[in-house]
Structure 1
Amino acid sequence: MLSAESKIAVPTKESLAPMLDQTGLVVEEWLGNWRGEPYAPTSPKIIPIGRLRQPGRCFALSVFPFLDVTD
């Protein structure tokens, strides 16, 4: 049987915020799960809700631990 081991780096909210800003995304709210609860450092997910600096467009991006199946 073959096996492999890998590590997945999960960014923090503090490291994501400037990256999103640099790409032209304006975060209006940070959620901690898909039920819409506010983000906290212990949240299973990091979901920034916001918009592009261009009017009329929006985005949602989920960053979460790979094996998280809580939602």
Structure 2
Amino acid sequence: MVRSINQNKWHELKFELRDKFPHINLDDLNQADSAVDSLIRQISERSHSDQGEIVHLVRKAIEYIDSKHVI
């Protein structure tokens, strides 16, 4: 699922995921670069959650963010 997204959407994605994983702080999320796979790994390591579940949540968050930017 290697995917990069633009910076504005990247920041939105981090805030969406921070809401879903309240024990993950912004510093943890900022350690990931702009590749989605890095972000998923970072969340998985910090939250001890199933990586498949995180992938699903990230995909849904990206779809939501993309839908907000459709003109």
TM-score greater than 0.5 by the shorter chain: no
Give me the TM-score of the superposition, normalised by structure 1.
0.33
Give me the TM-score of the superposition, normalised by structure 2.
0.33
Structure 1 or 2: more strand by fraction? 1
* Structure with larger Rg: 1
Which structure ranks higher in relative contact order (CA pairs < 8 Å, sequence separation ≥ 6)? 2
